[in-house]
Structure formats: structure tokens, C-alpha cells
């Protein structure tokens, strides 16, 4: 008897749920919302390695700009502890490596060869810092676009290893990601929520 009542309750509940769902469907059809909106067509991702590299470095540039924009002028010189780089010095270090590794990988001339941007006080205001850092990304992007794709597999002696040019560019990309990531805590210390991750 108990099993029969339980089965009857289950059946009645199932019918009630089915009727409720049917009513929702009828209401949607009546309001003209039955057909889903057409999704925008997908854009094709670049197929050449040069185009892919340029696109990814452009994404990294845009993401770094969000960090630079987020930091108030008064936080540019911030050092969380006395012995580490300031926010400006982190970003200048990032940019200096963009120039040096970008030049090494592509064969372009590094306009800051022999100079240490971290020690150049003229780049330690927010406006000058932002300009310098973004120009370092533009240098990499333009240098990559100017090289033939066949050069990407050429080997270069770097830190005791015979590395292909694309691997040197990959190391540069990892380097800028690392130092931008370090500045997250600098923003937090100034009460700023860091920009959301920009993977795509």
C-alpha cells in the first residue's frame, strides 16, 4: 500500500512538472521568443605563425595597458618593500626585456641597447611610463610582422642553448606575463582591483 501511494505521488509530481514546462513553452511561442537569436559568425583565427604571434603580443599589450591605466599616478613609485622594484621599475624592466628579447629574436635593432630603462627617471611618471611600455610592445609586434615566417625556425645561441627564434619570442612573452602579474599586488596595495584576466 505504501509503495502504491509513493508511486502515485511520483506520477502526479511528474505530470505537474511536465505541465508546467509545457505552459512555459506555450508562453514563449506566444510571445515570439521561441526561436533563439542567431549567433554572430565566428571570425577565423590567423593561420600564419607571424600573424598569430602579432595577435598574441597585441593582446598582451592591451592587457598591460589596463594595468598601467588602473594604477593611480601616486602609485607609480610604490615599492611594497624597500628592496624590490617599484611599480614603474617593474614595468620598465618588462619593457626593457621586450626590446632586448624582441630584437634578439627578430634581428631588429634595439633602440635601447646598452641602457637600463629601470634607471631612467624620465620614464617614471604615469604618462611617460605608459608611453614607453606600450612602445616596447609595438616594437616587438612590428619587428615580428617584418620578418619572414621561415626565420622563426632559425637557431640562435641564447644562454648556452641553440634556440629557435620562436622560442626566444615565447620566452619574452613569458617574461612580460610574469612581471605584469607581479604588479597585481601593487594595485591591491593602492586599493585598486586588478584588471580581469585577458586570455583571449
With H, G, I as helix, E, B as strand and everything else as coil, classify residue 163.
strand
Q: Which residue has the cell 624597500?
A: 82
Kindly state the helix (H) or strand (E) to which residue 8 belongs, with its residue range: helix 2-30
Interaxial angle between packed helices 126-146 and 165-182, expressed in degrees from 0 to 180 and rounded to the nearest 10: 160
Q: Which residue has the cell 506555450?
A: 26
Task: Assign 3-class secondary structure to 52-117.
Answer: HHHHHHHHHHHHHHHHHHHCCHHHCCCCCCCCCCCHHHHHHHHHHHHHHHHHHHHCCCCCCCCCCH
For the chain, which domains are there?
49-189 (1.20.120.450)
Cα gap 79→89, rounded to integer Å: 9
Say whether pTM exceeds 0.85.
no
In terms of Cα–Cα distance, which of 107, 77, 112 is closest to 189?
77
> pLDDT tens per residue, the chain (200 residues)?
454 444 434 433 444 434 443 444 444 455 555 455 677 788 888 889 999 999 999 999 999 999 999 999 999 999 999 999 999 999 999 999 999 999 999 999 999 999 999 999 999 999 999 999 999 999 999 999 999 999 999 999 988 889 999 999 999 999 999 999 999 999 999 999 999 998 88
Contact 90, 183 (CB under 8 A): yes
Amino acid at each position: 500500500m505504501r509503495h502504491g501511494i509513493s508511486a502515485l505521488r511520483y506520477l502526479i509530481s511528474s505530470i505537474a512538472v511536465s505541465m508546467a514546462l509545457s505552459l512555459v513553452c506555450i508562453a514563449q511561442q506566444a510571445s515570439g521568443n521561441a526561436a533563439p537569436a542567431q549567433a554572430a559568425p565566428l571570425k577565423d583565427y590567423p593561420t600564419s605563425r607571424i600573424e598569430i604571434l602579432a595577435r598574441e603580443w597585441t593582446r598582451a599589450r592591451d592587457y598591460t595597458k589596463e594595468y598601467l591605466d588602473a594604477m593611480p599616478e601616486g602609485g607609480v613609485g610604490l615599492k611594497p618593500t624597500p628592496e624590490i622594484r617599484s611599480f614603474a621599475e617593474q614595468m620598465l624592466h618588462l619593457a626593457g626585456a621586450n626590446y632586448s628579447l624582441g630584437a634578439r629574436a627578430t634581428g631588429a635593432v634595439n633602440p635601447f641597447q646598452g641602457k637600463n630603462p629601470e634607471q631612467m627617471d624620465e620614464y617614471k611618471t604615469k604618462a611617460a611610463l605608459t608611453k614607453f611600455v606600450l612602445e616596447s610592445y609595438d616594437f616587438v609586434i612590428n619587428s615580428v610582422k617584418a620578418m619572414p615566417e621561415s626565420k622563426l625556425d632559425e637557431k640562435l645561441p641564447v644562454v648556452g642553448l641553440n634556440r629557435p627564434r620562436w622560442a626566444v619570442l615565447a620566452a619574452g612573452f613569458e617574461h612580460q606575463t610574469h612581471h605584469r602579474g607581479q604588479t597585481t599586488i601593487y594595485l591591491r596595495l593602492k586599493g585598486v582591483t586588478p584588471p580581469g584576466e585577458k586570455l583571449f
